[in-house]
Amino acid sequence: VAVLVSGQMRGYENSVTRLKEILAGTKTKFFIHTWENNGVNKKSSNKYSRVYPTIFSNLLTELVTFTKLEHIEDSLRKIDEIIFPDALVTETELKESYGPETQIVIEKDRKMSSNHEKMYYKMFKAHELLEESEEFDLYIRIRPDLVIEFNDPFDINNVYNTIKDSNIVFTERGYAYSYYGYGIDDKFSICNKETMKIYSSVWKSWSQNKEKTSLVGHVDLARVLMDNGIGSYSLEKMAK
């Protein structure tokens, strides 16, 4: 299994721990293309949901947002300084979590037209790391901070048999029109080699025509997949 990890590395520790549990028993290799800054904004309470466990992050957000008590905010800043002493990620610390064989590229932050462009650029660059690698049976792309949970047991063999010869990508919600208005979830995907190449090509496709349109997250991903005849189904359908 090839796992493509792209984006800022905030809260990745919980995510990779859970992912390794799900993929236990498989031969897994990680490919990471990220920014030097981990993306944790110490001045914003919005970070808590991407760093701490859900219950704790909800409590922190409520304290900061609704109580407006300065001494609480001051205390949280001090805690942040202990937990997040440095906002920069290193190859050494990433390999400690993902494994010594992990392929990693860390770039200095660069100005782009939008956060959407940055995200899809990183998805494309992470996929490029596969060019010199061996073949895999399954390909996963995941946002660094996403912790995956299923309502039912996860069967990796069922997933493989479903997608190995099919133009199918499993995502969190599939073509979730009611959730996004129009578009597809982009935090997680699992598919075969050919489909992952298409899934990761949004930035390249857009960059060739960027003078004409703005890159729109979820929407442009759905457009690229639909244009190539790719079906998308909810992540929950993988748990059988």
- Specify the residue for token string 């202990």: 82
Other C-beta atoms closer than 10 Å to the C-beta of 51 total 21
Nearest-10 crossing angle of helices 12-22, 91-98: 30
- Specify the residue for token string 């699992």: 190
pLDDT of residue 48: 58
pLDDT in tens, the chain (240 residues): 999 999 999 889 889 999 999 898 899 999 999 999 887 654 444 555 555 666 666 776 776 666 655 566 566 666 665 555 557 889 999 999 999 999 999 999 888 888 899 999 999 999 999 988 889 999 999 999 998 877 667 788 888 998 998 999 998 877 765 555 678 888 999 999 999 999 999 999 998 886 667 888 888 999 999 999 999 888 765 544
pLDDT of residue 213: 78
Inter-residue contact 104 to 94 (CB < 8 Å): yes
Other C-beta atoms closer than 10 Å to the C-beta of 214 total 11
Inter-residue contact 157 to 230 (CB < 8 Å): no
Of 118, 95, 87, 86, residue with least CA distance to 32: 95
Rounded to whole angstroms, the Cα distance separating 199 from 218 reads 11
